[in-house]
Each structure stands twice: as structure tokens, then as C-alpha cells.
């Protein structure tokens, strides 16, 4: 038995949807372990497109168990809307194939409002959040005042907890000159949907232990990317959760020895959504071309992504931080028409060359990329399924990339289509 954790090795949007879909076809259980409905995966199966935000990718496949772990923050209305959306496309969602951790924390309307209030007030210092309440919900979790799935089972308990969390939020709202948030209507709304949420609720840690004893293959599905990790990312321009592979254990309720292989999804160039440092960003014609050819718009927000050259320094750094065993290289075909392709192999900071991205935001913004140039292959790679059939210059770029980041490449994606993949190593079968 092999259990696999999938994480993004850059700033997210690396093409995890396609890879996770392929892996979920082999897995028995798929677990989302962090984040919320601020990150999404797009899956295309038998010509049908599914845009998932909270639901794990396994939900669209028959005979798979999908789990939303305790590390996820759940907007219950967004979740129910998403369930209805995929049901309308013929997908069955029942208590047999969907489990929600009873310890998962809820995103409530005042979290979304607080997200918007802060972003609007920040001006030029804004983080670039998705304004979906993710950060404020995680703050309440750490502040030990959060409403969790289990709290929906008791009206008395829910009343007490709402009073506690609103006392905190209303103090901030008053200070910002905003109207205080009233409890009564929210109570009614929560009690109305409580049965629909609670019917999926179970102790996930216990179910994972059962699945392990049964020898089931488990896929731990991450959202976003390691460079958005609240500890290891480009802080403060990060998300509010840990996106590294180690979070798969804490965000679901199992030991780290439950994860046998860590797969890092890695785009053949680099993109970023929102604000923050981006050493290899291209604001020229090439950057525009990458965005157009790569269809670089967010699954959830439709925001345009910033594009740049592949940053080998950053990917090598995230590989070491997250214990990545192999990478799935995606969107190689986006580079097909370029005359020259560059890879960042170091930075220049204050007149000195360094081989890592420093933790200081000031230094991150000042770091200038040092590039190695490669001759483009100027021929289509789309649909190629064997490494030997790639153009020589493409093979050279991939080999040099693999050598620099110090991690083996387990697969190469040559188009958005699921079958257009060069499989070098199957994480479930090593």
C-alpha cells in the first residue's frame, strides 16, 4: 500500500487538478487537508468540466471516498451549493462517499465581511486575498473561538459560541466604524442547514485509521502552493494555512508515517495570483504570451495570473521544505513557440549572489534573478506521451531543470487533457 500527498511546489495554480484526477482514479480515498473555497481544481472527465473548490477530486469518480479534513475551513453554504452543482451534472453525493470532519472550522458571513473590510482598508498594503473569509476563519480557529461542524448539533452550544466569537468581531467592527453583526438571523440560517452538514460529519481520524487497516490507497490533496504557506511562503503575502506536505498529517488526523510519497506539482514556468514578491515575473510581451497560451486565469476568482520564467531556486527550496520525492512537470506545451527559454538559477542581492530566497520581505522584493538561457524547441509537444519523442531542446531543458532542482521528474504533462501525460514513475506503485 502507498499513500500519496500532492502539493503545489510554487504559488499554486500549477495544474494540480489534472494530476490529482489521474491519481484519484487509482486511490480509494481522497482527502482535502487544508485551505477553503479560495482555491480550486478544474477537472475534465468524459468531456464534462467540473470546477471543485471544497470537494476533493475523488468525488466525481464512482466508488471513491472523499474526505474534508479538520485542517479545512468550510463555508457551509458554499459547500452545499457545490454539492448541488455537481449533483446537477450527474454526480452522486451521499454519506457513503463524502465525509466531513466534525472538527472542521466554519467560515461564516462575518468572516467574509471582515476579509473585505481589511482588504479595502489596506490600500497599497493589501495582501490580495480572495475575500472569501479564509484568513479571519483561521484566526478564530487559532484564537479558540471558532464555530466547528460539531457545534451545529446543539442549539444551546451554538448560541453560546456565536456570542463569544461575535463579541470579538463586533469590537473590531466598532473600531473600524462598521455596523455590529447581529446573531439572530445567523442562528436561524445555521440551524436550517445544520442537518444537511451534520449528515456527512464523522471523526475523520478514526475513519483514516480504519482505511489504513483495510489497506486502502489514500491520496492527500493539497490546495494552493508551498510558497503561500503561512510559515514557509513569501510572508505576509501568503494564505492562512500550512500548505506543505506535513500539513496532510495534521489536517486530516494521522501520523506523518501515513504518507509514503510526496508529489510536487510544478509548472514549467512560474505564475502568481495577487500581491507579493515574484523575482522572475515578466511584464513584457513574453509574459503576456505565457498567460494567453497557458490560459492563466484563476479557477475560483477568474483573476489574471502574473507570469514569469521558471524559478529553479524557489522550487529547489520548496522541495527541501516539503520533503518532495518527485515532481509532476505541467504545461510544458505552453513554451513550445518561444525562441529562448530562461531558468532562474540564483539571485543577486545587495551585490552578492545567493542560492535561496531569504525570509525577509524586503530582501525578497530586492532579489534579482540570475538566469540560464536555453534554446527553444519551436515545435509542438502537445499530446506527446513518450519522453524520447520530445524535441531535443525540450529534453535538454527538462534534464537541466531536473538536475538543478535536485528532484526526479515523475511525469510530464503536455496538454490539459488527462491522457496527454508522459508517465515516468507512478507514486502509488513505487
- The verdict on whether 41 is a catalytic residue reads yes
Is there a contact between 10 and 225 (Cβ–Cβ < 8 Å)?
yes
Task: List the Cα angle 343/321/230 in 5-degree steps.
Answer: 100
Is there a contact between 114 and 232 (Cβ–Cβ < 8 Å)?
no
**Residues 229, 236: Cα–Cα separation, whole Å:** 10
- Spatial neighbors of 215 by CB under 8 A, at least 6 apart, are 1
Among candidate residues 13, 21, 115, 333, the one labeled active-site is 13
Is there a contact between 293 and 326 (Cβ–Cβ < 8 Å)?
no
On the 0-12 / 13-18 / 19+ scale of CB atoms within 10 A, 265 is: buried
From residue 243, alpha-carbon distances to 13, 55, 154, 341 in Å are 13, 17, 32, 29
Place of cell 502539493: 7
Place of cell 532542482: 405
- The verdict on whether 362 is a catalytic residue reads no
Is there a contact between 302 and 292 (Cβ–Cβ < 8 Å)?
no
Catalogue the E-assigned strands of 176-288: 201-202, 218-221, 261-267, 270-272
Among candidate residues 37, 41, 111, 169, the one labeled active-site is 41
Give the catalytic positions in this structure: 13, 41
Amino acid at each position: 500500500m502507498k499513500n500519496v500527498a500532492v502539493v503545489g511546489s510554487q504559488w499554486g495554480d500549477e495544474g494540480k487538478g489534472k494530476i490529482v484526477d489521474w491519481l484519484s482514479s487509482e486511490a480509494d480515498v481522497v482527502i482535502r487537508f487544508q485551505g477553503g473555497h479560495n482555491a480550486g481544481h478544474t477537472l475534465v472527465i468524459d468531456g464534462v468540466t467540473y470546477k471543485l473548490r471544497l470537494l476533493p477530486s475523488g468525488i466525481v469518480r464512482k466508488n471513491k471516498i472523499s474526505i474534508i479534513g479538520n485542517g479545512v475551513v468550510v463555508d457551509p453554504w458554499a459547500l452545499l451549493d457545490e454539492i448541488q452543482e455537481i449533483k446537477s451534472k450527474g454526480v452522486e453525493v451521499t454519506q457513503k462517499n463524502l465525509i466531513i470532519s466534525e472538527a472542521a472550522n466554519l467560515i461564516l458571513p462575518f468572516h467574509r465581511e471582515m476579509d473585505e473590510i481589511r482588504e479595502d482598508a489596506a490600500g497599497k498594503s493589501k495582501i490580495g486575498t480572495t475575500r472569501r473569509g479564509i484568513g479571519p476563519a483561521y484566526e478564530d480557529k487559532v484564537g479558540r473561538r471558532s464555530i466547528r461542524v460539531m457545534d451545529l448539533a446543539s442549539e444551546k452550544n451554538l448560541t453560546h459560541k456565536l456570542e463569544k466569537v461575535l463579541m470579538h468581531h463586533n469590537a473590531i467592527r466598532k473600531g473600524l466604524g462598521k455596523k455590529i453583526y447581529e446573531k439572530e438571523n445567523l442562528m436561524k440560517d445555521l440551524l436550517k442547514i445544520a442537518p444537511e452538514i451534520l449528515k456527512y460529519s464523522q471523526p475523520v481520524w478514526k475513519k483514516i485509521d480504519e482505511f489504513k487497516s483495510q489497506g486502502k490507497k489514500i491520496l492527500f490533496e493539497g490546495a494552493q502552493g508551498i510558497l503561500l504557506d503561512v510559515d514557509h511562503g513569501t510572508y505576509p503575502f501568503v494564505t492562512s494555512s500550512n500548505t506543505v506536505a506535513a500539513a496532510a498529517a495534521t489536517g486530516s488526523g494521522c501520523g506523518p508515517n501515513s504518507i509514503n510519497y510526496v508529489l510536487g506539482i510544478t509548472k514549467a514556468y512560474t505564475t502568481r495570483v495577487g500581491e507579493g514578491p515574484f523575482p522572475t515575473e515578466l511584464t513584457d510581451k513574453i509574459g503576456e504570451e505565457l498567460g494567453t497560451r497557458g490560459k492563466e486565469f484563476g479557477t475560483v476568482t477568474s483573476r489574471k495570473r502574473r507570469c514569469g520564467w521558471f524559478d529553479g531556486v524557489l522550487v529547489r527550496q520548496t522541495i527541501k521544505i516539503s520533503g518532495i520525492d518527485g515532481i509532476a512537470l505541467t504545461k510544458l506545451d505552453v513554451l513550445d513557440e518561444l525562441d529562448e527559454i530562461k531558468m532562474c538559477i540564483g539571485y543577486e542581492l545587495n551585490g552578492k549572489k545567493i542560492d535561496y530566497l531569504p525570509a525577509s520581505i524586503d530582501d525578497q522584493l530586492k532579489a534579482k534573478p540570475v538566469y540560464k538561457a536555453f534554446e527553444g524547441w519551436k515545435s509542438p509537444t502537445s499530446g506527446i506521451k513518450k519522453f524520447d519523442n520530445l524535441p531535443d531542446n525540450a529534453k535538454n531543458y527538462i534534464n537541466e531543470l531536473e538536475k538543478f532542482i535536485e528532484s526526479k521528474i515523475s511525469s510530464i504533462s503536455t496538454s490539459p487533457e488527462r491522457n496527454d501525460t508522459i508517465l515516468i514513475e507512478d507514486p502509488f506503485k513505487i
